[in-house]
Amino acid sequence: MATLKVPAQLPSPVEDSEQLRKAFQGWGTNEGLIISILGHRNAAQRKLIREAYSATHGEDLFKDLDKELSSDFERAVLVWTLDPAERDAFLANEATKMLTSNNWVILEIASTRSSLDLLKAKQAYQARFKKSLEEDVAYHTKGDIRKLLVPLVSIFRYEGDEVNMTLAKSEAKLLHEKIAEKAYNDEELIRILSTRSKAQLTATLNQYNNEFGNAINKDLKTDPKDEYLQLLRAAIKCLTYPEKYFAKVLRMAINKLGTDEGALTRVVTTRAEVDLQRIAEEYQRRNSIPLDRAIANDTSGDYQSILLALVGHED
């Protein structure tokens, strides 16, 4: 469930865009107005506002997007306001660049979006960057991490609910054999994770747990500092229990000495219209503090305000 709150009575996109024009003139001068508008409009509405702005003023609402984003607040507003497919393309591209390289972001986008949303992100990526997400991921990774990430980002996964239990049993056994041999980069293991439907994979991993007595991620925790194994476990969590995965990303971002604003902004902006309510439940269960209070404790100013608006926190 989403956390975004959209008022029942809305101004027209033209009115919104004119208000934003005023708020932007002398950027940063009216953050409250920006939050009160953009923090309460869904993707379709934000798109209409950008179109209205562009039609009236002949320029993109966010002409500065390609420039370096200076403050956490500005980045949050900009990332949030992008269309979801454009936003994923933007975040994924950043994650393939040398200085901002981040395999976690690629993994997360590849493994938690629906097949159609991932496809739209790839199309947005191609339209914007004139190359494919797959080629950039493949080019900027190597070794085992490439072997894992490229198939995950490439697949157009089947999304039906059908489960083949015979297959689940045989593939659970196969996974267990490979893990017992410490063949964590085995191609059969990667094949199963990267190509099976989420329903089928869940059945396989339940079977694994039933048959061999441990959740697979426990068996994959032999070396907690190995990045490949970390990514492998994260992929499994993203594919089978995304809310729990995101709750953990939030926990790490907030608990870090010096908040990880990049991760915090990413999870809040990308999930506010999808499942942030469920993520907040997971967060509270594990951390014994509501997500909005944790965010309020850890952030300040306009950045805090935009995040709280997106997590649905009532003032």
Q: Give residues in contact with its own copies (CB under 8 A).
A: 119, 122-123, 126, 130-132, 134-135, 138-139, 146-147, 150-151, 154-160, 162, 187, 191, 194-197
Nearer to its own copies, 66 or 187 (CB): 187
Q: Which is nearer to its own copies, 27 or 139 (CB)?
A: 139
312 labeled binding residue: no
Amino acid letter, residue 229: L
Q: Known binder of ligand: residue 24?
A: yes
Pick the closer one to its own copies by CB: 33 or 163.
163
CB atoms inside a 10 Å sphere around CB 104? 16
| Count of C-beta atoms within a 10 Å radius of residue 197 | 18
Q: Least distance in Å: CB of 78 to its own copies?
A: 25
Give least dist CB 208 to its own copies, A.
18
Q: Which CB, 124 or 234, lies closer to its own copies?
A: 124
Q: In this complex, which beta carbon is closest to its own copies, that of residue 144 or of residue 298? A: 144
218 is in an annotated binding site: no
143 annotated ligand-binding residue: no
> Does 94 carry a binding-site annotation?
no
Least Å from the CB of residue 126 to its own copies: 5
CB of 256 vs its own copies, minimal distance in Å: 34
Task: Report whether 254 belongs to an annotated binding site.
Answer: yes
Amino acid at 239: L
Smallest gap from Cβ 146 to its own copies, in A, equals 7
What is the smallest separation between the CB atom of 152 and its own copies, expressed in angstroms? 10
Determine whether the annotation assigns residue 112 to a binding site: no
Q: What is the DSSP string of the chain?
A: -------SS---HHHHHHHHHHHHSSTTTTHHHHHHHHTT--HHHHHHHHHHHHHHHSS-TTTTTTSPP-SHHHHHHHHHHS-HHHHHHHHHHHHHSTTT--HHHHHHHHHHS-HHHHHHHHHHHHHHHSS-HHHHHHHH--HHHHHHHHHHHH----------HHHHHHHHHHHHHHHHTT-TT-HHHHHHHHHS-HHHHHHHHHHHHHHHSS-HHHHT-SSTT-HHHHHHHHHHHHHH-HHHHHHHHHHHHHHSSS--HHHHHHHHHHHTTTTHHHHHHHHHHHHSS-HHHHHHHH--HHHHHHHHHHTT---
Nearer to its own copies, 135 or 223 (CB): 135
> Is 298 among the annotated ligand-binding positions?
yes
Binding site, annotated residues for Ca(2+): 24, 26, 28, 68, 254, 256, 258, 296, 298-299
Binding site, annotated residues: 24, 26, 28, 68, 254, 256, 258, 296, 298-299
